[in-house]
Structures are given as C-alpha cells and as structure tokens.
Amino acid sequence: MAKKKNEWFDWFKALLFALGLAFVVRMFLFSPIVVDGPSMLPTLHDQDQMIVNKISYKIGKPERFDIVVFHASAQKDFIKRIIALPGEHVEVKDEVLYIDGEPIDEPFLAEQKQNMEPYQTLTNDFTLEELPGGYNKVPEGHVFVLGDNRGNSTDSRMLGVIPMDEIVGKAGLIYWPFDRMQIVGE
C-alpha cells in the first residue's frame, strides 16, 4: 500500500512540476496570439495563430521591420510592424517610406504595390510631425509602427508612437493553420 501511495505522490509531483514549467514559459518566455483582422495582410491573415517571443526585447533591441505585439488598450493587443526606431524621423511621400530623409525599401509591400491600379494609394502621405504627439523624431523608449495593409490599419498614424514597455514581444512564427506555418518578419 505504501508503494502505491509513493507512486501517486511521484505522479502528483511530476504533474505539478510540468504545470509550473508551463506557467513560467507562458508568462515569461513565449505565448500564443491570434491575429484579429486584416491590418497585416498579406503577411498575416485574420485568425493566423502565432507564437510571441516575450524575451527578445529584454535581451536585445527592436529592429526595423520586426513584427511586434503591443498593448493598444487594457483589453486589446495589436500586431504591427516596426517602421521607425528611437531618434528617427519618419515620413511617407508618393508611396516611398523615408527614414531621416533616406528612402527605405519595404519588400513586404512589393506585391501590394504591383497589384495597385494607377489611381490607387497604398499609404497616404504623412510626416511624423502631423501625427498624434507632433514629434519631429521618435522619442527614446518608443517605436513607430504600421500595419502592412496600410489602408485598413489602426497604427501609429492614429495611436502615436508606441512605448517599448507596452510591447509584449516579437511575433515570428505562424503555427496554425498548418498550410501557412512559417517564420515571418525575417
């Protein structure tokens, strides 16, 4: 009888350890997110399920074109692409992104630009100064984000620059649906 009790106790300890480990991984390292809406088309589709790396910005710095998840409000997280980093000026003129006055290629928009009609606009012209906050450069501790589907995205053009402490992590892996499984943002 004592042997059976010991076996149950061992199973209980193993289960408790597994649950604790899963909790630590979910809270501090990685978590799932479901893409909600069309703002990142064609890169990410509505209902794509992804893994968010929560430690990437604790050990490193964000890079231009990283796809990140951030707290847009207490109830809602958004997923967008980092366009400008702290200390940079950003503007779009005639469908060209300029960072500190230099044109920057956005290869993830190539397909959309190619399929546009001549009279269509993918990204309306703007300068950082015209947006919420009226900054002339992205402030320290903040980033400027845009959705890939520029005509249908609530992003820094409406929200202003995003504080780094509101960023949950870097989204990099679509794991569902299986036919879309891939690493994105590389």
Contacts of range 93-101, beta carbons closer than 8 Å, 24 or more positions apart: 93/125, 94/125, 95/121, 95/122, 95/123, 97/123, 99/64
Residue 20 is predicted with a pLDDT of: 61
Helix (H) or strand (E) holding 130, with range, is: none
Alpha-helical regions (H) of the chain: 2-24, 56-59, 110-114, 156-159
Per-residue model confidence as pLDDT tens digits over 104-162: 999 989 888 888 787 788 889 999 999 999 999 999 999 999 999 998 999 999 999 99
Say how far apart CA 163 and CA 143 lie, in whole Å: 7
Q: Give residue for tokens 């061992």.
A: 10
**86, 61 contact by CB (below 8 A):** no
> Has 76 been annotated as catalytic?
no
In the set 54, 80, 153, 156, the catalytic residue is 80
pLDDT at residue 59 is higher than 80? yes
Which domains does the chain carry? 30-183 (2.10.109.10)
Question: What pLDDT digit, counting tens, does each position of 16-56 carry?
Answer: 666 665 655 555 556 888 899 999 999 999 999 999 998 88
73 part of the active site: no
H or E element that contains 168: strand 167-176
Q: Which residues does 56 contact at the CB level (< 8 Å), separation at least 6? A: 169, 170
Catalytic residue among 39, 56, 153, 156: 39
Paired with 104 in beta bridges are 97
The pLDDT of residue 58: 83
- C-alpha–C-alpha distance, residues 45 and 129, integer Å: 31
Q: Kindly report the pTM of this predicted structure.
A: 0.84
Over the chain, what is the mean pLDDT? 87
Residue 42: what are its φ and ψ, rounded to 5°? Answer: -90, 0
Asked if 85 contacts 156 with a C-beta cutoff of 8 angstroms, the reply is no
The band of 83, judged by pLDDT with boundaries at 50, 70 and 90, is very high
